[in-house]
Structure 1
Amino acid sequence: MTTTSDGLTAPFALARFRDGEDVRLGLVAGDRIRALSTDELGAASLNAFLAHPDWERLRRLATAASAPELAEGWMPLADVVLTAPVEPRQVLQAGANYREHVIELVVAGLTQDQSRSPEEAREFAARMMDDRAANGEPYFFLGLPTVVVGDDVPLVLPEYSDVHDWELELAVVIGKEAFRVSRDEALDHVAGYTIVNDVTTRDLVFRKDMKEIGTDWFRSKNAPGFLPTGPFLVPAPFVDGSDVTVRLDLNGETMQNGSTSDLLFGIPALISAASQTTALLPGDLLLTGSPPGNGQHWKRFLRDGDVMTGSITGLGTQVVRCLAEGPAV
């Protein structure tokens, strides 16, 4: 796969790239990348750096990328294969967090019995969402860190279902540890942002053998490769997470195109709420929810050969290719 910086507007970002059998941390500036040593990073690992990110240190290194000739250590970005730019220990996912998306779901349910007109159902649903935003709390579930992959890995569609769905999301990358922080303090714990496609198997979301249990996020969201992430980790100072466009195209056709300005619970509220229960650790991912336009809405799910192109303002472009699961060898 050819790696480009399409859609990356920050003066520099972090990425991880393949070097033979190894994966190395790199600094990206424009269409160039260079490996970062621990001395240059000023930390023993990526997560150790994110606990106390020194972006100014990396800014000074990035200035060399603007030289007309390739400065020492820099390579064309197109010559490397990027993988997931993060190594989270925890993945927290916010559900039902885009106002318009949830209103659409509620309206669909309310109009099935024809007791309300579409207009009445929308007005009722909008009041529900406004009350939830004012008086409710975010809804979280957990993903497995082992499911996080780069878009260099094809998305293999498990053969046990035909209803695998896309959910493009803005993901917060945690910086210094956050435990029981207030909304006012929350953004101090953000190191950066990245793109995540939170793939979901729709017919496994609700248990059929014991409906009282409710949702089964473990089975529906944690097949191998179900969290394509990256390609870049963009420093928080370069991103206004409260108003970025989240767009997913399937085979060139736009399916999702929303803004984080429509979040019921913004990033400070999500971080604060999640941190009341557990400590969020450096490098952890906090997914913020997905805008309208999932496959469930379009009645069109992922198939062998599909190509998903996801972009978020300033964070670059993620390209995920889908493959049908072959027979076990």
Structure 2
Amino acid sequence: MATLAQPVGPFALGTFSAPDGRLFPGLVVRDRVLDLSQVLSWGPADVRSVLERWEEILPVLHVLAGEDALEWQRLDGLSVHAPVQPRQIFQSGANYRQHVIDLEVAHRSPDDPRTVEEARAEIAAVMDRRAAEDLPYVFIGLPSAITGPYDDVVLPAWAEQPDWELELAAVIAKPAHRVSVEDALEYVAGYTIANDLTDRATVFRRDMKAIGTDWLRCKNAPGFTPLGPWIVPAGSIADPGDLRVTLKLNGRTMQDESTKDMLFGVARLVSYISQTAPLLPGDLVLTGSPAGNGIHWGRLLRDGDVMEGSITGLGVQRTRCVAEEADA
């Protein structure tokens, strides 16, 4: 395995497997991993089991991170998988101001009478109004779309315009229902990286425009959500509202924006979601993607492309695109 970018802070959590194929929850400290299923008395089978006892186990993890006499394994001898398998995925849409402005311009109808400048000004005013009205937009994703941070991403044969969307993801620590914005971050265990791939051609229904968006079709193909590599505890991230989100395509920087451009921060999103749906340990809250998607650049994903996504302090994920063969 190539050298992996290290997370910030004393440790992180991840899901790993040795050559025998057994998956286990691991404590990551620099270039080594501790199998938590072996050292914790209750033998957690996965990271979600660890998160379900987060407040109890967090102090223990801090102690374990400094215990050199334990049976640590070399990170480069292990396979790295998606750090957690959530029960629910909540995805914030239209949450980066510049991103939405760019998309509006890119999706303009050919007969739109507005100039580019007029279109940008109009959607900028809409975004300002949304922020003032304090009403996030959230939809639901499928856990089956999750794949590992170094796995190949299969581009379905039917996907005409597959695109990237790198995002900060918050990982929930404990059940959260109708929590306030002020208390919301107490329910966040940590943060990880998600790439929320989207087929731009199927975002909007073609058969009946009034139906609106089709999130099932455009975002939830198997492997369309590369996740990880690690979960970095919230205590190691000084401010989730001030992180750099960067995606490179074949070495060229395409997205490079601060989470400061989000309309609604992590606390507001967690609180908003919890007013309707109870959040559970291990659930993901994806916070939206910044400007710089392929539809903006006029360059969509294709066979052989390599995406490298990083967020300040959370490491780096690298995934290669592989085109699915069309049925004969």
TM-score by length of 2: 0.92
Matched letter for residue 318 of structure 1? Q
Contact 2:175 2:187 in 1 (8 A): yes
Cα displacement (A) at 1:37: 2.1
Equivalent runs, 1:33-182 vs 2, <5 Å = 33-37=33-37, 40=40, 44=44, 45-53=46-54, 54-65=57-68, 71-106=69-104, 109=108, 113=112, 115=114, 118=117, 121-182=119-180
Contact 1:180 1:272 in 2 (8 A): yes
Contact 1:177 1:282 in 2 (8 A): yes
Equivalent runs, 1:1-329 vs 2, <5 Å = 2=1, 4-19=3-18, 20-37=20-37, 40=40, 44=44, 45-53=46-54, 54-65=57-68, 71-106=69-104, 109=108, 113=112, 115=114, 118=117, 121-239=119-237, 240-326=239-325
CA distance in 2, matches of 1:204, 1:41: 48
Contact 2:178 2:275 in 1 (8 A): yes
CA distance in 2, matches of 1:41, 1:297: 51
Cα displacement (A) at 1:153: 2.3
Cα displacement (A) at 1:38: 6.2
Q: Which stretches in structure 2 are left out of the alignment for 5+ residues?
A: none
What SS does the aligned partner of 1:161 have? coil
Range that drifts further, 288-297 or 2-11: 2-11
CA distance in 2, matches of 1:7, 1:301: 29
CA distance in 1, matches of 2:150, 2:309: 14
Contact 1:156 1:324 in 2 (8 A): yes
Matched letter for residue 75 of structure 1? Q
What SS does the aligned partner of 2:66 have? helix
CA distance in 2, matches of 1:324, 1:266: 35
Q: Which stretches in structure 1 are left out of the alignment for 5+ residues?
A: 66-70
CA distance in 2, matches of 1:198, 1:154: 14
With over 3 angstroms needed to count, the CA separation of the structure-2 counterparts of 1:99 and 1:41, relative to structure 1, is farther
Contact 1:31 1:76 in 2 (8 A): yes
CA distance in 2, matches of 1:12, 1:242: 21
Cα displacement (A) at 1:253: 0.2
CA distance in 2, matches of 1:254, 1:41: 45
What SS does the aligned partner of 1:63 have? coil
Contact 2:194 2:227 in 1 (8 A): yes
1:56-109 per-position Cα deviation (integer Å, ceiling 9, x unaligned): 2111111135xxxxx441122111110000110001110000011123334554
With over 3 angstroms needed to count, the CA separation of the structure-2 counterparts of 1:3 and 1:234, relative to structure 1, is farther
With over 3 angstroms needed to count, the CA separation of the structure-2 counterparts of 1:95 and 1:316, relative to structure 1, is same
Contact 1:12 1:27 in 2 (8 A): yes
What SS does the aligned partner of 1:321 have? strand
CA distance in 2, matches of 1:55, 1:95: 31
TM-score by length of 1: 0.91
**Number of corresponding residues:** 322
1:269-314 per-position Cα deviation (integer Å, ceiling 9, x unaligned): 1011111111010000010000001111111111111110000000
CA distance in 2, matches of 1:247, 1:258: 7
Contact 1:3 1:77 in 2 (8 A): no
With over 3 angstroms needed to count, the CA separation of the structure-2 counterparts of 1:163 and 1:58, relative to structure 1, is same
1:174-197 per-position Cα deviation (integer Å, ceiling 9, x unaligned): 011111111011001001110000
